Structures are given as C-alpha cells and as structure tokens.
Amino acid sequence: MGRAEENPLLRQFTGIHETAPLGQIQNGHYMPAFKKALNNARKEVEGIVKNTEPPTFENTIVGLETSGRLLGRVAGIFFNVLSAETNDRLQKIAQEVSPMLTEFQNDINLNPGLFKKVKTVYDKKNSLGLSVEENTLLENTYIGFVRKGANLNEKDKEKFREISTELSKLALEFGNNVLKETNAYSYLLTDKEKLSGLPEGALEAAAAKAKDKGHEGWMFDISMPSYLPVLKYADNRELRKELFMAYGSKAFKGNGFDNQQNVKKIVGLRLELAKILGFENYAGYILERRMAMGPSGIYKLLEDLYEASFKVAKQEKEGLQKFAGSLGFEGELMPWDASYYSEKLKIKKFDLDDEMLKPYFELNNVIDGVFGLATELYGITFKLNKEIEVYHNEVKPYEVFDADGTFLAVLYADFHPREGKRGGAWMNDFKPQWKENGKDSRPHISIVMNFTQATETKPALLTFDEVNTFLHEFGHALHGIFANSTYQSLSGTNVYRDFVELPSQLMENWAVEKEFLDKFARHYKTGEAIPCELVEKIKASENFMEGSACLRQLSFGFLDMAWHTITEAYAGEVKAFDEKAWKKTQLYPTIDEVCMSTQFGHLFAGGYAAGYYGYKWAEVLDADAFALFKEKGLFNKQVATSFRKNILEKGGTEHPMELYKKFRGQEPTVDALLERSGLK
C-alpha cells in the first residue's frame, strides 16, 4: 500500500482540474504518504541549505516557499477529512503525524545555516528591487523564522521544540474530546406530550434519529439542528435544561474526555513559549502580527463595544423577565429560558419566527440565491460536476468559472451533520492557489456546515441563522476562489487573523435585504416568493436583542484575552477563571456544572487564541464596507469589482489596512457598526 503507484496520495492527480482522488483514498494510505512527503520536503530544504551559491531571493526565499508541495497536498487532504469525516483510525494517525509535522517545521525554523541565508537576503532587502508581494514574502519569511525561535540559544531552541510539539498534541486531544462528548450524548423521549411547542420539522427529525438508533419515540442530541429548536421552542422547561446542561458541560465532567487539564496545559505552554521569545504574555506574541496592535488596542475595542452594549443588554434582559412574568413564569430566568422567551417575545413584537421563514429557505433555493449573489456582484458562475470525486456522498462538488468563462476554482460544499463531522461551520482548502512558470494553479476550496436535514416529508429547510451561516462561509470561500497571488503562503485567506473575517461577515449583510431575498426565497410547496411583509419583519427584527448578542460575543473576547494575558501559569480551577474573566458580561446566574473553556475549540483547538476579538473587529470593517454598497447600490458592480481587486484577490500580499484603504478610501470607523446594530 505504501508504494507510490498504489497510493493515490502519491500519484500525479489526473482528475478534473487535478482534484484529489478522494473516493480512492483509504485510511491506510495516509501514513506512508506523510512519510514519503516529509522525506521529500527534507531533501528539498537540504538542497537550499547546501547550495554553495550566494543566497538570493530566488534560491532561498522562493526556494523555501515552493518546497514541500507534496507534503502540503497530503496534509491539506488529511486534515480536511479529519474535520469533516473522521473516525478513530484517522484520529490515531493525527496524534502520530502532528508531532512529526511540528518536528519538521522546527527543523526548518531552528536550522542556523538556513536562517543565516534568509537573514543575508533580508539584510539586503532595500537593494533587491522587489515588488510589494515579493517584499511581503521576504518580510514574512524572516519574521516567521524569528517568531519560531531562530534567534534563540541552543537550550531555548530545544525547549521551543518540546513546547510546540506538546501543543500540537494537546490541541488534537482537546478537539477529539469535544467531538466524542458530542457524539456520546443522546436523550430519548417517548411521551409526545412532553414535546409541546416543538415545530413539526424538529419532531420529524427527532423521530428519524430515534428510528435510526433502533428506538421508538423522539431522540435529541447536542448537534445544532437538534439542540437549538429545543432551546427555542420546547415548552418543557426540564427538556430545555437537560439539553442546555449536556451542551454546556462538554468535556467538563471529570471523565476520560475532560479538557480542564488540557486547557491549563495549553495556556501554560503558550505562556512559556511567549516568554522564551521575549514577550510578557502569549497575547503580546500573537498580536505583534495583527491589524489591531497589542493587547491594549484589543481591550480598548472590547471596552468601547461593552460600553455601547451593556446598558442595552441589561434593559433587554429586564424586559424579557417582565415578559416571561406576564406569561405566568415565576422566579428568575435561567440560561435555558433565554432563547425560549426571546423567541416568544420576538413573535409578539414582530409576528415573526423561524418556522414562518423556513418554508422559503429550501436548501437548493438558498444555494441558488447565495451563488446567484456572487454571479450578480462578480459575474462568476457555478456548475455542479458529479464526476469530481468527494470524501462523502453528501458533498456537492462545483466548478467555478469567471465572467469570461475562465476556470477559477473547485468548490466542495458539505451541508449536514454526521457523526464523523465536528460541530460548527468552516471554510478551508484542499489545495491553495499559486503561480509558477507562467501557470496560475487554481484552488480547491471547501465549505462545511451542520444544517437542518431533510425529513421523510420535507426537504432541507434552513433557519434564517443557517442562511446567514451559509453566506458567512461562502464569503470565506470567495476569498479563496478569487485568490490571485504568486505565492501560496500569501494567497486567499492567508491574511492577518483579524482581517480574515471581513469577506465572510460582509456577505451576511445581504441576508436582510429585500432585493436579495426576492431572487431566491420561494415557498418550497407553492413557489410563492417570500411576502414583502415577512421581509419587512426580518428587517425590523434585525436588531432584536442586539445588545445581548453583542455582549455574548464580547464575553468570549474577554475570556480569550484573560487566558492569553496571564503572566504566570494558572493552577486554579478552569471554571473559576472563566467566571472571573467574563463576569461583567454575564446577565444570567452562574451554572456550576457548565464551562465554556473546556469546549472552546476556537481558542484551544483552532487558530483564534488571542484573536477571538477579530469577529468584532471584522464587524467594524464589514459594517463600514457595506455602507459603501448601501450608498452606491446593493449590487453595484464598480464597488464589487473594487472589493474583489483590492481585498479578495490580494490575500496577504500587502498589509490589510493598506488594502482596506485602497477599497474604501479611508480607515474604518466604528460608527457604521453602532448605527447598524442600533447601539449608537
């Protein structure tokens, strides 16, 4: 199985647009492919080090950039499948291969001979006549070496190796624990009277879930399509509490999947790593390479938004308590009551709920609408091509073409939850974009979601939140699809973390616009367009409970910054740390049995450590950017072309603030966000 001619990962990809033969790849192919690819990559880097010619931009910086292509290909496929269609064997491979990859990266970054060559080129940068993109690549390469320990003494280099290897293992273990806890939970009810308030679609899905597991009745789990309807609609308060506690206590039960020690180990090792590199804390290290420079800048953003939202959120909570009382509720509202009474209040105020909207958001129509928006703005088209191999039969593979018919990208779209798929929604690439020898090698992009599934009597009907999520991930996808860089490390979404959410969050703005909804939102039975009054209600309710929603996001930002601005290792209780960190943002009583940090994958298994504030920063950017569309026209091609040319195509080839100013003509201000949110 390890021989190249037998291993599909090691053969030349001859499929449509050189796509990966995903249907042919088996678990046993990965480890031999990783070993071969790592061996190749080491030889390529060794060739750069041993080159006796004087170091140049081409033979050193570009040489490093283009090395390890096979390794990038194997890793790109493996880690995408690991997230979207995992199993125990893949998770074991990940635990084995992650330290190997970290060791390889450390061998590059901590190689004194290689760094000497990089530094030689870097020291001559002003006399090399480099383009803006070439200069960015040189800067990133040099600074990347320094930030990965190249200037350390031998003792600290060894410590850096140990820490980075351990961190890669812990992040995987953290994510696996959360997924296993999610998959392990289910709750069966056989008395239909205990399910009053739940919509027909949620009941059908729960009945189908029970049937699949060999039970009579209705089965619920803590995947979003099952969990959210219970929290929003179930009259049975005990059922709401049951699922809330199960969801909120993931990896916080003191069992084999508990993440409390992992959290403390991860933040402790990150702090140690930052200190070795000369930073006071991990946030200082991370934020050195962000738009919003330094922890003080982040705290100012969070505090400014807190000041604007807290009083509003407090009033919203008091209003909700009063409203619940008018319906006969006694006592203090608890976290498992908030969504339920908010939904009832929303119906009363706006005569609007998800169940009224879902018939107009049949998945295939939404696909047409979201893709159609890109066609309207940018002229691109999407063609489903089932000849392209996929990793699961639910995945839809599309070819994407530019306005002139030129091939742009492959887009894999994966919409529904499965046991092997982690929760949430994300965009990634199986293959990035780059240019070489006159050829523009186009990207293969993936968007993965966990949307409401079809039932025996209904097609997949999305909630309005799911429509927003689709637009969000599709915005990331456009960032990848339009990538137009020479170097893959600067291509697509390879931008500062607090800039990457701009394209995704910008797309969400169209969700409440009648001109957009009219194009695709049709009743799945009658074909009737979504009525004007429903669209008006969506628009009117856009800022419903906005203070509370803003405060919730800020709570995660404060928690993130608290963990990553510690200057001494934390030995206390994780739960106590959480409560102290976000205390001023909490509107509801503390529940001892639930914990955020133990399941906070963005921070401890993803790339958002000291970066969660980026969602709020990107809201500042996207509100400011969308204001230009509002001013010039929702589908204004001139504005769209400017956004494509200055933001989407450029990736990380220039500093994001420079790119933003080229698009907008000015730096962003918080005004548009506060106005849009009704917080001004």
pLDDT value of position 4: 53
29 conformational bin, left if phi > 0, alpha if psi -120 to 50, beta if neither: alpha
Q: Which of 658, 655, 495, 497 is nearest to 135 (CA)?
A: 655
For residues 361 and 415, what is the distance between their CA atoms, to the nearest angstrom? 14
Domains of the chain: 16-109+111-151 (1.20.1050.40), 185-248 (no CATH), 260-352+546-612 (1.10.1370.10), 358-540+615-677 (1.10.1370.40)
User: Rounded to a whole number, what is the largest CA-CA distance in the chain?
Assistant: 83
Residues 72-101 have pLDDT tens digits of 999 999 999 999 999 999 999 999 999 999
Q: pLDDT averaged over the chain?
A: 95
For helices 464-481 and 363-378, give the axis angle rounded to 10 degrees: 40
For residues 62 and 67, what is the distance between their CA atoms, to the nearest angstrom? 8
CB distance 228 to 340 below 8 Å: no
Q: What type of residue is 504?
A: S
For residues 90 and 79, what is the distance between their CA atoms, to the nearest angstrom? 9
Residues 299-358 have pLDDT tens digits of 999 999 999 999 999 999 999 999 999 999 999 999 999 999 999 999 999 999 888 999
Residues 162-175 have pLDDT tens digits of 999 999 999 999 99
Tokens of 511: 């969700």
User: For the chain, what's the residue count?
Assistant: 680
Catalytic residue among 355, 389, 399, 473: 473
pLDDT value of position 297: 87
| Mean pLDDT, residues 220-248 | 97
254 conformational bin, left if phi > 0, alpha if psi -120 to 50, beta if neither: left
pLDDT value of position 434: 98
* This prediction's pTM: 0.91
Angle at 415 between CA 409 and CA 416, to 5 degrees: 155
- Active-site annotation holds for 473: yes
Question: How far is CA 606 from each of CA 147, 353, 491, 492, 512, rounded to the nearest angstrom?
Answer: 19, 33, 20, 18, 30
Residues 344-378 have pLDDT tens digits of 999 999 999 888 999 999 999 999 999 999 999 99
For residues 78 and 430, what is the distance between their CA atoms, to the nearest angstrom? 9
Judged on CB neighbours under 10 Å (0-12, 13-18, 19+), 40 is middle
Looking at the DSSP bridge assignments, the partners of residue 354 are: none
Tokens of 114: 């290689």
